[in-house]
Amino acid sequence: MRPRTLDEVVGQQHLLGPGSPLRTLAESADDRGPAGPSSVMLWGPPGTGKTTLAHVVARGSGRKFVELSAITAGVKDVRRVMEEALTNRDLHRITTVLFLDEIHRFNKAQQDALLPGVENRWVVLVAATTENPSFSVVSPLLSRSLLLTLKPLTEEDIASLLQRAVEDERGLAGRVTLTVEALEHLVRLAAGTHGAG
């Protein structure tokens, strides 16, 4: 059910309008222009679509998606990705989109290891964090990235996602029906607003 395009993304409409930087990055047909694509820092609470947005950005033609988690990855992993990205760019004309989840868990040395790849545009870094990047990300990396703030999903967003899951071919394909009461209950559960009863 993960969205394949930005038009399928629910929520975050403040970031997805026509001509927005995120839309331009996701829809860019040619990453090899003089400026190349931007790197992006996605800041927001859990469950707001940071990983989903990274996947959509990576779906562009001529792109390869690589995912690292700052909880388990180290400098060695970052350097390996950078070397492969440089080779893919120069030999195969493939742009690597590196999704780094929880970048705030990387220490300064680990974040510094990302700089050559970001500065030289070997990778398009899409980094996700639940912590304020001004305090948790080194300034050279932050200054080379576009900071986008994600908002919590509304109850309407959650209801829309549930309806899509019931109806879409990639979901339940209409094999079940959802009463209004059941939908409202699931929305309350998902939004964390249900009572303790």
Question: pLDDT tens digits for 29-85?
Answer: 554 444 456 799 999 999 899 999 998 888 877 899 999 999 999 999 999 999 999
Cβ-based burial of 48 (10 A; exposed 0-12, middle 13-18, buried ≥19): buried
Name the residue ranges covered by the structural domains of the chain: 6-149, 155-191
- Looking at residue 35, its pLDDT comes to 47
Residues in the chain, how many? 197
CA distance 16 to 7: 8
Tokens of 127: 């980094």
Superfamily of domain 6-149: P-loop containing nucleotide triphosphate hydrolases (3.40.50.300)
Cβ-based burial of 62 (10 A; exposed 0-12, middle 13-18, buried ≥19): middle
CA distance 53 to 174: 26
- Cα–Cα distances (Å) from 126 to 7, 22, 57, in that order, read 19, 11, 9
Question: pLDDT tens digits for 97-142?
Answer: 999 999 999 999 999 999 999 999 899 999 999 999 999 999 999 9
Find the range with the poorest average confidence among 8-17, 23-32, 83-92.
23-32
Question: What's this model's pTM, rounded to 2 decimal places?
Answer: 0.84
